[in-house]
Amino acid sequence: GRPMVELGLFFDEAAYKLFSPFFKNDDVKLKNMLLAYINGVQALYHHPSAGTKIDLMLTHLEIFKTQPSDLPHYAGERSNLLDSFCVYNEKHNPPGDKDPKHWDMGLYISGLDFYAVENGKKSGVTMGLATVGGVCQAKYACVIAEFGVTNILGKPYPSAGFTSVYVLAHEMGHNLGMHHDSSSNSCPKDGFIMSPSRG
């Protein structure tokens, strides 16, 4: 059969507060939006250009109306947030692939504007982060991705709207072992899922 990646999806408090009003606090509609989001990523992993089609299966979906105390978000500072989620993900994931509740990769979908501090300055260009090839080890099988985020001027990032699908597919690609296009490979730098500008 085709390779399958089982996913655990965690929708953070910031994202819940951002999206819930659009759905008049109807959590069923919110879940349907998240399923549509994952279906969009699934379509990309079934694209003929991928060579091998990869099936995605959601085995766990959790919406945080309040942020768990054991999952600090560091206001979106990307390195600390990824580390924090990776610890949380491993702690709450049932070990062993035989457990039907187990997932291979944890996804932290966030309404925070991720940032890094570079040369003492805050840079908000990051839209997601994942360890390359991390899916093979429980403590690195974790991805963080922005969802529906706007910059300080209220302008949407590519992590808002339909293009959010590409951002998550990109970060999941890293976790599955893919590097950026044009980085130690002959792929064109722009125009594809693993383009450096996608994440």
Concatenated DSSP letters of 102-154? --SEEEEEESS--BEEETTEEE----EEE-TTGGGSGGG-EEEEE-S-B-TTS
- pTM for this entry: 0.94
Is 92 assigned to a binding site?
Answer: no
Q: Answer whether residue 139 shows pLDDT above 80.
A: yes
Known catalytic residues are: 171
Domains in the chain: ranges and CATH: 4-198 (3.40.390.10)
Residue with tokens 């998550």: 168
Distance from the first to the final alpha carbon of the chain: 30
Q: Answer whether residue 109 shows pLDDT above 80.
A: yes
What pLDDT score does 184 carry? 79
142 class by beta-carbon count within 10 Å (0-12 exposed, 13-18 middle, 19+ buried): buried
Task: Give the pLDDT confidence of 144-180 residue by residue, as tens digits.
Answer: 999 999 887 888 888 888 889 999 999 999 999 998 8
What pLDDT score does 186 carry? 80
Q: Which residues contact 68 (CB under 8 A, 6 or more apart)?
A: 88
Task: Give the pLDDT confidence of 16-66 residue by residue, as tens digits.
Answer: 999 999 999 999 999 999 999 999 999 999 999 889 999 999 999 999 999
Is 174 assigned to a binding site?
Answer: yes
Is 46 assigned to a binding site?
Answer: no
